Amino acid sequence: MHQSPADAKLEAIRWDRPRLSILDQLLLPHASEYVDIATSADGHRAIVSMQTRGAPAIAIVAALSLAAEISRRDFGSAQQAHDFIVDRLDYLATSRPTAVNLFDAVAKLKAVAASALASQSPAATGASVALAYVDAAEQMLAADVRDNRAIGSHGARYIAARALAQGAGAFKLLTHCNTGALATAGHGTALGIIRSLHQGAHMPAAAAASAAGEAVLDHVYFGETRPYNQGARLTAYELLCEGIPSTLVCDSAVSALLRSDPSIVGVVVGADRVAANGDTANKIGTYQLAIAARFHGREFIVAAPSTSVDLGLASGEGIVIEERDPAEITRAEGFVREALEDGRMVRQTLCVAPEGTRAWNPSFDVTPAELISAIVTEKGVFVKTPGATTYDLAKCLGENN
């Protein structure tokens, strides 16, 4: 699956049936360690703790954790296999509430198990139901990489065209959180568009060498994304691995940055759940980025696979926003290089606020569709009809099926 040393370093999910391991993202960038996931309970724990995170990655790790578990079990009957799968999927669905990808995968995998159970010729067995599940979970892993590369290509062409229309030969982008290979099965969504732009995916081969007459991504700014620091720890790691020129900024600096640098043509972010009208839940801080982009007349682009779209939700009003432990704000987990003979990096909890400080720690916020210039999916780039303040994603996705 790797195409380069960078890919090898950035592989968030490793699956070699029946073995699943994940890159422990609580340790990045200071240590690159893989953790074995043998059961759905291991998968649930890894998702809740955010050892693995990112809307698509959460769904795939959940699916494959159960695939790993049932690959090592014998079921007395097809019904037993089906019932075990349904029970474990319901448990995995309790891990984190906001990213719809998890619930989309759970529904699809339950349907696979039910269909395998109903098989008459040949008659279903415990092994046949389990195999059908594992095959479907593996297909989700492969499909996510395909989707992300399509998002990268659609988004790169769209942004380059918008930059060129504004007379920008070399342009910059601003992004938030981590939406790259570490948040998905590979390549990434918003960061996947940045990767594709950097690789010249939007240019005809001939032009790619000279970039003559083409818009070229010159630099990427990214926010630290407190309190988990997906930007400062993970996006920085990915951009350095890929050799993409970039600059980290504090979340509090993004408005001043947009005001100071007109070559930033837009903001591109991921999504955890996009409602049918285009309202989008994403990492906390996204909403204020959208406000800043609108005030400064810049594009605000959401990149997400269709598995992040919740057509059952009319608007963002109904999106459940995960609230995490306030201690993630008041007590930063830091790494200290111990003065030991081996100079190990060890995790220490550093109190960054006085004991007793209260904190509000929503993990996501909702950006209204009105502030979103375009939604890039693997099926294409969707923009609002002139004068509209919302999208009709059921129509958009239906037309692009």
Interface residue list for ligand LNRAV4D5 (CB under 6 A)? 53-56, 177, 179, 183-184, 189, 230, 270-272, 282-283, 363
Question: How many Å apart are CA 337 and CA 340, to the nearest integer?
Answer: 8
Nearer CB in complex with ligand LNRAV4D5: 186/200: 186
Question: How many Å apart are CA 215 and CA 166, to the nearest integer?
Answer: 10
Residue 308's nearest CA partner among 283, 278, 280, 272 is 272
Name the minimum Å distance from CB 68 to ligand LNRAV4D5.
21
Nearer CB in complex with ligand LNRAV4D5: 84/237: 237
Nearer CB in complex with ligand LNRAV4D5: 282/330: 282
Q: How far is CA 396 from the centre of its chain?
A: 21
Nearer CB in complex with ligand LNRAV4D5: 189/330: 189
Name the minimum Å distance from CB 132 to ligand LNRAV4D5.
28
Name the minimum Å distance from CB 39 to ligand LNRAV4D5.
21
Name the minimum Å distance from CB 148 to ligand LNRAV4D5.
8
Q: Which residue matches tokens 């993970």?
A: 234
Strands 246-249 and 264-269: what pairing? unpaired
Residue 194's nearest CA partner among 237, 146, 231, 245 is 245
The tally of CA atoms less than 13 A away on the side-chain side of residue 158 is 26
Catalytic residue among 42, 251, 272, 365: 272
How many CB atoms neighbour CB 244 within 10 A? 18
Active site residue 272: yes
Residue 234's nearest CA partner among 22, 57, 29, 6 is 29
Name the minimum Å distance from CB 98 to ligand LNRAV4D5.
8
CB contact set of 191 (below 8 Å; sequence gap of 6+): 175, 178, 179, 180, 181, 183, 235, 238, 239, 270
What tokens appear for 149 in the block?
């590369």
Residue nearest to ligand LNRAV4D5 (CB): 270
Name the minimum Å distance from CB 74 to ligand LNRAV4D5.
35
What tokens appear for 389 in the block?
């303040």
Question: How many Å apart are CA 62 and CA 95, to the nearest integer?
Answer: 9
Nearer CB in complex with ligand LNRAV4D5: 124/313: 313
Name the minimum Å distance from CB 56 to ligand LNRAV4D5.
6
Q: What is the dihedral of CA 245, 188, 185, 201, to 10 degrees?
A: -80
Nearer CB in complex with ligand LNRAV4D5: 82/96: 96
Nearer CB in complex with ligand LNRAV4D5: 112/141: 141
Residue 144's nearest CA partner among 207, 193, 93, 186 is 186
How many CB atoms neighbour CB 118 within 10 A? 11
What are the residue numbers of the active site?
A: 272
